[in-house]
Structures are given as structure tokens and as C-alpha cells.
Structure 1
């Protein structure tokens, strides 16, 4: 008999326990093992060389933090059954199971209008059949349909264990210390009031630090101008490949990637769609881009060389949209330089927006000593909360370095 109650050594959190056999079986499932080949941060390793961690790492870390959070709540007198605990761990473990190659970069590109959460739910339903209904409560929690709301808030909210893990993990692997939040302190301040997740009032500064750390990580790492450009290039490459395929051009690629390049309608995913998607990972796209650097189509070849050779276009960042005349001038120079007519495909304005804290959508509540609840920004002790509730947008213009 296999001992399924393993301990995993994680560089971020230390030892992670697998507390039940069903969790071990889910981790061993091919759908979950695929996450070893899905990058957590897309092409971020081209900017921060250490950022080579995967969705597999992140899912295990998030599960560990969920376990820690549930233990904390039980110590504070919150009744959580064994079935609820197991289901919450399974829900967070599988929350990213539907991510495709390079994670967010190609969202909706492979299967039109199929967000990773929609695919995650689809795969969880299929796994639930295999495991004879053991994931039913986990799926309810994932969807926010379970009667006790705080379980879903621990999975997906403005203060969830998903965010706590990816901030600390991405900070560790990129070497950007601004994201290194104190997860243990934040979790120790979590509580439940009226079956909703709250934070003990004395933890306000830890929460503000978490929100600002996330803001700095977005602008310094995830929305770094070269990172935003790399993600945009991936989308452009796949979009161009689909256009050429629709025109009858044959592009060398793995069988699974070819399948998605040729198919355009995904109103209802078929068994073959699901099977091929779960066999697709970052390696399929990397292999294809290597082939396509030599393609006769100038645009596809140029874009793939940018990524594979790390010969990125020049970028300029601004807090305001760029002057259309300035962009037009760049396009004309590109057309002249490369003797093409579609230079506007190589000169593009990208925008990135961030709202650090949304007061209206699932606000973070503080639990006062008298049992009352107030929103974070209404606390008389808050320092930053009222200043991080405004959306900020930055604009990035990219164009070939040759001009």
C-alpha cells in the first residue's frame, strides 16, 4: 500500500503536509500534474530570470495556506467539519486547474471566451465523476454556492489564500522584496463573523501592507513594461497563427496546438476539446514559436524572433495615451524600413490598469472588539486604505528597435 500522507518540501513555506488520501490522489491526477508544465508567471523569466516556478508550485502553496487559515479559525472557535476542511483544501488546490499555456497571457485565445475559471469548473466536474462525488462540496465552495460564504472568500476575494501565496511566491522567485508579505501574521488575524471572512481590527496594518505590496508587485513585476510587452507578443503570435491557419497556411506545431489553431467555435466544449486542452502546455507553444521564427510570413516570424531570441521591441511608458500623430509617424518608419504595408501591427499602444483596493466589490471587513464590523477604509486607524481605492492606468508604446 502506498503511503499517501506525504510531506512536500517547498522553498517558500517549508514543509507542506498532504493531510488526506483524496488530496494525494487529486495531486497525482494527470490534469493536476499538467500544471508542472504551466508557468505561473508566463514569460516573466525573460525579465526576472529566477521566475521559472509553475502553477503546480502555487497550487500546493495555496493549499498549505488554506490549511493554516482553517486551523487558525478553528482555534478561534469557528466550527469547521472534517468534510468542509477537506473540501476547502480541494477547492483551492484545483482553483487554477483550467489554466492554459503561459497562464493569463493566452486567456480566451485558444478557446474563445473560455476563461480559466470556466475551464477549471469543467475539469473539476469531470474529476468529480472519477472520484465518485468526493469533490461535490469543493465545487460548491469554488462557485460560491456553499451556504457558509467564508469558504469561498478564502478561495477568491480581495484577501484570499490564492493572493497570499502568489505574492509571496512571485516575490521569492523574482527577487523583488516588495511583495514579501507576512502570510502568517495576516492569517493569524483572520476571523469569521456571520459566516463571512473578516479580519481582527488590530491586523489593519498587516492588511494595508498586503494591499500595497500587491500594488507594488503589479507595477514593478506583472505590469513591468517589458513583461506587459512579452505577454502582448504571445497574444499577437497566436492571433497571427490563427489568421494564417484560417487562410489555409499550414504551420508546423504539435497535434494538440494545431487542433486549436484550426478550430474557432467553442460554444460547448466537446470531449475532444477537453482531452486536447489537458494535453497542452507551455512546451507546445515554445516548440511552435521556434519553428515559426523561420516562417515565410514576415509578421509571424518577426514576433516569434522577438520572444525566442529575446529581441524585444523598444518600449516607452506614459501616464497618458500617446499622440496619434506620433504613433502614425512610427508606423510610416516601420513600413519604410521593412518594406511592408501593415506596420501598424508592429507599432502598438498597450495599456495596463490597476485598482489596488475595490471598496464596492467584496470589501475587507474589520472585526471590532465589541463584535461590530466596519470596512477597512472606515477605520480611524487606517493610513493608506483611503488612498489606494483609485484606479491607475499606464500606457506602453512598443515599436521595432530598427527604427
Structure 2
């Protein structure tokens, strides 16, 4: 009987050929938990703004694996001691870091699976896979949780300059066409080093770090927090909330078995047993979009109209300002819509609402990005840089929005 060749390659539009480093990584990629990521969009509803943004979490995870291989290769070349077990753990941890994402990436976290974040689900998936793979993921889980004593290993997976951010900025920029988000990940990786067990960037790479932080800020305002992307994702979240509300009131809504499970059950983090996790692993974008296509014909005014907005890209009006919205204006709009549509205040709240957006390219309160100076001392990039705008990038910018139906404006 012939054995499967597990040292495959993927052809990636960003990096070219991506190699699978070992049989364990191949087997994890082949697992249904991971293959599901082919059906989870990387940028949520952003394709309504940028038609090319149809890439998936599967794409992204493989890209992270590739640049992690490059980072390990660079660090070992510079004399950083990384054992084979540690190397494999880094590959497993970065490959699986997003495995807990739900449909359209974030919509589930704020609707029918409340207060359970994808990082927590990723850990649950990793622990379940660890049982299946006879403990081979134990070190990767330790690193992922931050329990492993070598600090720089966690920084490669989760920090302000990790492999995750490096790949999604470059990848999302490529697929969306937002050129301002493109970064030189090769240069950043080549400038990496480890000093006193901390991940650092050598001083000559400081300009690449500056470019990275600026690109991150621009990608947030231009892509991730684009007003149409924001309102589309808010509507999607409200569709799921309304569907759950109707289900809890005894109305049966047709949908897939896995989606139905989360509609009829309140699942918190402590409730995620093997059964719940398996049900979640069957959920993807197709379950949600299939349900929305069916629900657009439902008798419920709220569900019907919200579903049609997403399907036909005829969304709510969103206005973004630097100041908090006027409560009286919002109430007046809500009352006007309640009257014109003959609906209750609870129903109107699905169409007229407010919120805020936050963007911070660099956080001083989080683990800093350290620059390794020629005298072997390390310094926060903001202090090391001669550019004043980096200080500005570390300030959190808050903007406010109100959403309401276009019919209120007569458009």
C-alpha cells in the first residue's frame, strides 16, 4: 500500500510556494476542523466594498505558517537556540491560532454565541486535537497560552509585531486592492533577533517597523473600519440576534442543523463540551448565507428586511462623526421610523442605533515593539524613532456612528 506524501506545497499568490514542514502539520491541515477555514471569509463582509476580498482564514493560516518558517530560519541563522520540538510547536501554534473563528470571522462572537471569543475557541479546538494526536500539540498549547518560559516564542504568535499581523496586512491589502496596507514582511523578518529572550528588531529595520504601523492604521480606517464594512457586519450581527430572539419565542426558522443548535441553546464558554465544539466546527459562512437567503421571505418585518439589505447590498445609512451622536436626534429618527413602518420600539432598535469605533495602530500599554540598538540595549520603537507621528499613532482614536434606514432621509 502506497503512503501519502505529506510534504506537499501550496502555491500562494502572496509568497509563491509554501511548503509543509512535517507530517504533523500536514495531518492538521487535512483535519476537518482546519479544512472548515476554507469556508470562513478572512475579511467578513468587506467584499461588499472590495469585490476581491473573498479570501479565507485557510489562506491566512497557511501564510502565517510560511512566514513563521522564515522567522525561525532567520533566528536560527543568527544563533538563537530553537530546538526541533520548539520549532514544531511554533508551526502548530501559528497554524491553528485562528481555528476558532466563526462564520464571517466575528459576527458570531457578538450575536448567537455571546461572550465567547475566537481565541478561547481556538484553544478548545487545539486541546481537542491534542487528544486526537496523542499529546503532540502539548508544547504548542503551552506556547499559545503564554505558559512556556521562552517569551519570544509567544511574541512570534501574539504581539504587536507577530506573524498573524504581518500576514493579514499583506494579504488583505493584496486581495482588497488597498495598496496602503502593503508591508515589507521579508525585510521585517530579516531584521528580527532575540535579546534577553525578547523578540527585537535590529536598529536598521526601524523604518520597516514605522511603515508597518502606518500601514496598519490605514488598513483599519480604509478597510476593516470602512463604513460600509462596519454597517454590513452590524446588520449581519443583528440578523442573528433577531433570529435567536424569534426562535426563543417559539418561532421555527429553517436553517442548518448546526446553526439551529446554537439558535435553541445558550452556549457559554463553560458549555463548550465535545458536542458543542463539533457543532461549531460544522458552522461556516454558507450556513449563515443559506439561512439569510431563506429568511428574507419570513413574515417578520425585522428579519425579512435586514436579510434583504445584506443580500441586495441595500444597507442602512451610517454616519460617522468625531463627536458623540445627539440622543434627541437618534430618538426622533427612531420615532419617525416606528411611525412610518408601524413597528414597536424593540423592532425599531434593530434599524436605528449608535455605537463607536476605535483604532490604535500601536499600544503603549501592550508589550512594546523593541528596537535592538548597536550598543545591544533595547528601546521601545516610539522612543527609538525620530518620527513624531509614531507618538500620534499610539493614541487611541475614537469615532462615533449612528445607523438608520435610508427611507428616513427619503433616499
Using the size of structure 2 for normalisation, the TM-score is 0.96
What is the distance in 2 between the residues matched to 1:107 and 1:231?
12
> Which of 298, 309, 313 is the equivalent residue of 1:310?
313
**Which residues of 2 match residues 54-65 of structure 1 at below 5 A?**
54-65=56-67
How many angstroms does 1:229 deviate by? 0.5
How many angstroms does 1:282 deviate by? 0.7
Tell me, yes or no, if the aligned pair for 1:106 and 1:234 is still in contact at 8 Å: no
What is the match of residue 301 of structure 1? 304
What is the distance in 2 between the residues matched to 1:346 and 1:387?
35
Deviations 1:174-198 (A, max 9, x none): 0000010000011111110111111
What is the match of residue 364 of structure 2? 359
What is the distance in 2 between the residues matched to 1:320 and 1:225?
16
What is the match of residue 386 of structure 1? 391
Change (3 A) 1:56 1:182: same
How many angstroms does 1:270 deviate by? 2.3
Change (3 A) 1:280 1:344: closer
Deviations 1:374-400 (A, max 9, x none): 111111534432121111011222111
Tell me, yes or no, if the aligned pair for 1:98 and 1:117 is still in contact at 8 Å: yes
What is the match of residue 242 of structure 2? 240
How many angstroms does 1:111 deviate by? 2.6
What is the distance in 2 between the residues matched to 1:108 and 1:152?
27
What is the match of residue 292 of structure 2? 289
Tell me, yes or no, if the aligned pair for 1:204 and 1:382 is still in contact at 8 Å: no
**Which residues of 2 match residues 8-87 of structure 1 at below 5 A?**
8-87=10-89
What is the distance in 2 between the residues matched to 1:270 and 1:395?
38
Three-state SS of the structure 2 residue aligned to 1:158 is coil
What is the distance in 1 between the residues matched to 2:256 and 2:349?
30
Three-state SS of the structure 1 residue aligned to 2:368 is coil
Tell me, yes or no, if the aligned pair for 1:317 and 1:397 is still in contact at 8 Å: yes
Tell me, yes or no, if the aligned pair for 1:179 and 1:214 is still in contact at 8 Å: yes
**1:339 correspondence with 2:329:** no
Tell me, yes or no, if the aligned pair for 2:92 and 2:140 is still in contact at 8 Å: yes
Three-state SS of the structure 1 residue aligned to 2:106 is helix
Three-state SS of the structure 1 residue aligned to 2:362 is coil
Deviations 1:192-239 (A, max 9, x none): 011111111121111011011000000010001111111111111111
What is the match of residue 368 of structure 1? 373
What is the match of residue 112 of structure 1? 114
What is the match of residue 272 of structure 1? 275
Consecutive unaligned residues of structure 2, counting only runs of 5 or more, are none
What is the match of residue 219 of structure 2? 217
What is the distance in 2 between the residues matched to 1:318 and 1:72?
45
Deviations 1:151-184 (A, max 9, x none): 1100000000100000000000000000100000
How many angstroms does 1:108 deviate by? 4.7
What is the distance in 2 between the residues matched to 1:70 and 1:384?
31
> Which of 402, 406, 410 is the equivalent residue of 1:401?
406
Tell me, yes or no, if the aligned pair for 1:376 and 1:382 is still in contact at 8 Å: no
Tell me, yes or no, if the aligned pair for 1:39 and 1:102 is still in contact at 8 Å: yes
What is the distance in 1 between the residues matched to 2:70 and 2:294?
46
What is the distance in 2 between the residues matched to 1:381 and 1:393?
26
> Which of 320, 325, 329 is the equivalent residue of 1:326?
329
**1:193 correspondence with 2:231:** no
Of the structure 1 ranges 268-277 and 252-261, higher mean CA displacement relative to structure 2 is found in: 268-277
> Which of 217, 222, 227 is the equivalent residue of 2:229?
227
Three-state SS of the structure 1 residue aligned to 2:354 is strand
What is the match of residue 260 of structure 2? 258
Of the structure 1 ranges 262-271 and 391-400, higher mean CA displacement relative to structure 2 is found in: 262-271
Deviations 1:315-336 (A, max 9, x none): 2111111111211221122122
Three-state SS of the structure 1 residue aligned to 2:365 is coil
Three-state SS of the structure 2 residue aligned to 1:353 is strand
What is the match of residue 179 of structure 2? 177
Of the structure 1 ranges 281-290 and 377-386, higher mean CA displacement relative to structure 2 is found in: 377-386
Using the size of structure 1 for normalisation, the TM-score is 0.98
Consecutive unaligned residues of structure 1, counting only runs of 5 or more, are none
